[in-house]
């Protein structure tokens, strides 16, 4: 399957021009596996063209992504909000051309985040809290929800059905995922209901830029309904002591704009486990796209799956003995 077959540079430029986005001939493919993203030079300023993977999101789901991003932009947050025809605002933002769906965004300037700089994590915490305050004002109708069923059980089923897991490791994989999913369900059950709101959903450093004013959010393609902690835990790294310090800085900034339910901190390791399972299933599910074997040549072999199963077992132990962020 080649979902973007036929998306040649001239088609990209013609698609933009058809909706009033005139290019100047400069076109650069940006690093993106799920969609196809291009930087286009134009007399009105650099544009980013995102061509959506067919059949992944419905038109309604993409419209909700665009509407949420527009809400954040209206609140003067640094986000790349989609443009309507010709670069205006307030109109249709999802376009179709020769079977491809795409959107156009302004180019957001910035550099890679350096979160060890003084006040950086506090600034990021404040920004995420503002996203959540806006995200809590209304609900998604069609976007996905962050659930154990989808990211855990569904991911396991996808791996088992992919044909990429060596038969000799199937039993080990099932045992490891059984142990992991039992622990994930137990922790979610013990914590009980937590507030669900519209969140970024994939808030890691690769989806952030930094300018002179602070964080810039460039991609809400994975926005979902879920708990606030999902947008915070991926920003923690290093030893337990380092993560504790990072958490203190992040949550100190966060609580300047929004209260945080500290019971959610227990979800960090279960959410990490779900992401591990989902990531493997994501690559397996996209393996027929030629871009994925090129990008992940190590995936699918015996050594990869042995390492993945071992990582899942270690993550089960981490859920049993977590490094809980504290005030």
Summarize pLDDT for 167-187 with one digit per residue, the tens: 999 999 999 999 999 999 999
- pLDDT tier, 150 (very low <50, low <70, confident <90, very high otherwise): very high
Give the Cβ contact number of residue 109 at 10 Å: 10
φ, ψ dihedrals at 118, nearest 5°: -55, 135
How much is the pLDDT for 322? 77
Domains and CATH numbers, the chain: 9-106 (3.30.200.70), 120-320 (1.10.510.10)
pLDDT, residue 90, reads: 67
CA 296 – CA 302 distance, rounded (Å):
14
Mean pLDDT estimate for the chain: 93
Query: The pTM is what?
Result: 0.94
Given 59, 116, 157, 202, the catalytic residue: 202
72 and 131 in contact (C-beta within 8 Å)? yes
In the predicted model, is pLDDT for residue 28 greater than 70? Answer: yes
What phi and psi, each to the nearest 5 degrees, are found at residue 90? 90, 0
**Of 219, 221, 231, 289, which is the active-site residue?**
219
Q: What is the structure's pLDDT at 89? A: 64
Q: How far apart are CA 199 and CA 140, in angstroms?
A: 10
What's the pLDDT at 300?
85
Strand blocks (E) in 177-273? 197-199, 208-211, 214-217, 224-226
User: For position 326, what pLDDT does the model report?
Assistant: 46
Q: In terms of Cα–Cα distance, which of 73, 13, 6, 59 is closest to 38?
A: 13
Nearest-CA neighbor of 225 among 41, 1, 61? Answer: 61
Helix, strand, coil % in the chain, rounded to nearest 5: 50, 15, 40
Express as a percent the part of the chain with pLDDT over 90.
83
Q: Which run of H or of E encompasses 305?
A: helix 302-320
Q: Which residues contact 282 (CB under 8 A, 6 or more apart)?
A: 155
- Active-site residue, 219 included: yes
Gap between the Cα atoms of 42 and 107, Å rounded: 11
Q: How many CB atoms lie within 10 A of CB 212?
A: 7
Check pLDDT > 70 for residue 324: no
Per-residue pLDDT tens digits for 259-316: 999 999 999 999 999 999 999 999 999 999 998 999 999 998 999 999 999 999 999 9
């Amino acid at each position: 399957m080649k979902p973007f077959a036929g998306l040649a540079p001239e088609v990209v430029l013609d698609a933009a021009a058809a909706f009033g986005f005139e290019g100047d001939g400069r076109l650069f493919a940006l690093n993106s596996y799920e969609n196809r993203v291009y930087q286009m030079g134009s007399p009105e300023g650099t544009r980013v063209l995102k061509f959506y993977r067919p059949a992944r999101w419905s038109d309604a789901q993409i419209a909700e992504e665009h509407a949420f991003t527009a809400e954040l932009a209206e609140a003067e947050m640094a986000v790349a909000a989609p443009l309507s025809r010709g670069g205006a605002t307030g109109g249709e933002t999802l376009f179709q051309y020769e079977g491809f769906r795409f959107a156009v965004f302004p180019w957001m300037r910035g550099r890679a985040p350096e979160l060890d700089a003084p006040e950086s994590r506090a600034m990021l915490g404040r920004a995420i809290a503002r996203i959540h305050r806006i995200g809590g004002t209304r609900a998604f109708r069609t976007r996905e929800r962050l659930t154990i069923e989808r990211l855990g059980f569904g991911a396991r089923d996808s791996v088992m059905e992919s044909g990429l897991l060596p038969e000799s490791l199937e039993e080990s994989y099932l045992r490891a995922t059984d142990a992991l999913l039992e622990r994930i369900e137990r922790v979610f059950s013990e914590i009980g209901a937590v507030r669900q709101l519209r969140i970024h959903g994939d808030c890691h450093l690769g989806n952030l830029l930094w300018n002179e004013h602070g964080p810039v959010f460039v991609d809400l393609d994975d926005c979902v309904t879920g708990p606030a902690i999902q947008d915070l835990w991926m920003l923690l790294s290093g030893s337990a002591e380092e993560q504790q310090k990072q958490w203190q800085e992040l949550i100190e900034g966060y609580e300047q704009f929004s209260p945080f339910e500290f019971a959610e901190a227990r979800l960090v390791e279960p959410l990490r486990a779900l992401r591990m399972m989902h990531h493997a299933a994501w690559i397996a599910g996209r393996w027929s796209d030629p871009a994925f074997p090129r990008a992940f040549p190590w995936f699918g072999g015996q050594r990869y799956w042995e390492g993945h199963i071992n990582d899942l077992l270690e993550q089960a132990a981490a859920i049993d003995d977590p490094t809980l962020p504290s005030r």
